[in-house]
Each structure stands twice: as C-alpha cells, then as structure tokens.
C-alpha cells in the first residue's frame, strides 16, 4: 500500500487505529504526533511506526491525516495544521463532530479538502473491532477503498450515512465499556459461587465472545437464541427472571440513549 498516514493524537482510540493500520500498511508509512512522548515512543516501539516532533511535521508527511483528538480541541488543531494540508484527505474520529463542521473550519482556513469521518471502538486494537465510516461527497471511491483497506486489520469497516453515526456510537463504540462491566459482574457471580477469579473471568469472557459469534454467524434474533438456552424449569430461565426483575434490559437501553444524547452535545 503506497498511501502514507499521519495521526495527530495517540490516545486509547487513536492508538487502537494506529495499531490496526500498522498491521495493514508498512509501518514506515505511518507517522504519529502525540504530545505525551511516552505514548508515542511505546507505539513506535510496538508497531514500527515513526514519530514526529510536531503536528505539522506529521501532517506534511502523509496523504491521510487522522485527527485523533478530543472534540473540544479539534478546531484549534485543524487550524494549526491547515497550512500543510493542501492535497490531503482529513480523517476525523472526534465524537459528535460532523463533516460539515470540519469542512467549515477548513474553508475558513482557505482549504477545500475531502473529509472522512470515522467512529471506531477500542477492540480495533486486537483486530476484533468495528469502524463506521462516512465520507464527504468529494471523497473518491479509490480513496474510500484505500482507507477501508488500511483499516481492515482492525475488524469490520462499515460505510454508512453520516446521520446514523451519532446514534450508533453508543451501540458499538461506548458499549465495550458496558460489556466489560458485564463480564466483570459474571466473574463476580462465579467467585461468589466458588470459582477462582482467573477462571471465572476467562469463562465469562469466552461466553460473551461465543454469544456474539452466535448472533453474527447464525443470523438468528437474540431473543430466539436466548429462548433456546432457557430450558423449562432450568437454571438459565431463573437467572433471566432475576435480570428482568433488576431492570437489566431497560438499564442497558437507557445507557445507550443517554450516551447518544451526550455524543450529540460533544460536537457542539
């Protein structure tokens, strides 16, 4: 792959994407700028990517320039590197920040550039993640495919209309945190029942992995799969009833919706 990639910011999410791109592309074609030198050096040591002394240096070296920064600083960072962005494609992972807003900032700086908006989740770091991708109208099909290829080692890359990204963000990007809590809770229950902590955690994580695979690979509705596990008078249905009493499904749905509301506020 001949394209070069620059990353401005290498936090948890940015670092996950950097690791994925370095598995799909030549690491020497990936340059990162991260103010925290320990983070940038750790990523460089772990992936083989190069580090830059400034955001300008990183951006000037690449075709795809990733903005892996918080929404409240994106404008300042973008304005700072605008002078070196001619002929490049801007890629943003900032939650809640729409393509139109990024385009507007670029226009103010005298730049008319293609913009791609991504929303990933952290399992991208281990190749089991998901990345939603929306493109401005001036992104060519060749560019979109090139970026998809570069991100492919992170997991599933799905193009979508931008209007769905904010609503979907809590479903797949915030939700790993909720799933980790669920795995921890399953393990806690196992420990209460007498299973050693390390084994309980392993069993819980594998169960969640397997259940997710059943949904994706079988194409069956989660409710149908749940019913198939619940034998009449068995232990599973008793556990399901306990979760229903505690408002499990309502709590999860509320968490997703509240996270969606927060996501829409972040980009303002």
pLDDT digits (tens, 9 = 90+) for 3-28: 899 999 998 899 999 999 999 999 99
Which residue's structure tokens are 């809640």? Answer: 96
pLDDT tens digit sequence for 51-93? 999 999 999 999 999 999 999 999 999 999 999 999 999 999 9
Beta strands 115-120 and 129-135, pairing class:
antiparallel
What are the tens digits of pLDDT across the range 172-228?
999 999 999 999 999 999 999 999 999 999 999 999 999 999 999 999 999 999 999
pLDDT exceeds cutoff 80 at 30: yes
Q: How confident is the model at residue 268 (pLDDT cuts 50, 70, 90)?
A: confident
Give the Cα separation of 10 and 68 in Å (integer).
7
Helix then strand then coil, in percent of the chain rounded to 5, is 60, 15, 25
| H or E stretch covering 26 | none
Whether the CB-CB separation of 119 and 148 falls below 8 Å is answered with no
Every domain of the chain and the residues it spans: 5-160, 169-266
Q: Answer for the pair 8, 69: CB distance below 8 angstroms, yes or no.
A: yes
Q: Can you give the pLDDT at residue 2?
A: 62
Residues facing residue 156 across a β-bridge? 130
pLDDT digits (tens, 9 = 90+) for 98-152: 999 999 999 999 999 999 999 999 999 899 999 999 999 999 999 999 999 999 9
User: Between 3.30.70.600, 1.10.10.10, 1.10.3730.10, 3.50.50.60, what CATH number should domain 169-266 receive?
Assistant: 1.10.3730.10
Task: Report the C-alpha gap between 23 and 127 in whole angstroms.
Answer: 9
Which residues does residue 67 pair with via DSSP β-bridges, in sequence order?
8, 92
For the chain, give the mean pLDDT: 95
- Whole-number Å distance between alpha carbons of 44 and 16: 13
CATH of region 5-160 = 3.40.50.720
Nearest CA to 147 among 111, 107, 174, 115?
A: 115
In this prediction the pTM is 0.88
Residue 1 has pLDDT above 70, yes or no: no
């Amino acid at each position: 792959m001949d394209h070069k990639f620059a990353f401005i910011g290498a936090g948890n999410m940015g670092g996950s994407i950097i690791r994925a791109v370095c598995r799909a592309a030549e690491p020497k074609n990936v340059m990162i700028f991260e103010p925290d030198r320990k983070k940038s050096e750790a990523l460089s040591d772990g992936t083989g990517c190069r580090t830059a002394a400034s955001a300008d240096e990183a951006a000037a070296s690449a075709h795809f320039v990733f903005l892996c920064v918080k929404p409240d600083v994106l404008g300042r960072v973008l304005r700072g590197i605008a002078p070196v962005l001619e002929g490049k494609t801007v890629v943003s992972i900032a939650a809640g920040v729409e393509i139109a807003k990024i385009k507007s900032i670029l226009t103010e700086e005298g730049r008319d550039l293609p913009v791609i908006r991504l929303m990933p989740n952290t399992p991208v770091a281990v190749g089991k993640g998901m990345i939603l991708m929306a493109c401005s109208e001036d992104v060519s099909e060749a560019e979109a495919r090139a970026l998809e290829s570069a991100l492919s080692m992170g997991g599933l890359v799905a193009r979508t209309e931008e209007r769905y990204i904010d609503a979907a963000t809590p479903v797949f990007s915030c939700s790993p945190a909720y799933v980790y809590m669920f795995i921890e809770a399953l393990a806690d229950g196992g420990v209460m029942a007498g299973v050693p902590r390390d084994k309980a955690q392993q069993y819980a994580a594998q169960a969640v992995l397997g259940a997710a695979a059943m949904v994706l690979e079988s194409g069956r509705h989660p409710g149908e799969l749940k019913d198939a596990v619940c034998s009449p008078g068995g232990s599973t249905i008793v556990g399901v009833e306990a979760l229903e009493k505690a408002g499990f499904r309502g709590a999860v749905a509320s968490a997703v919706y509240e996270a969606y509301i927060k996501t829409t506020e972040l980009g303002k």
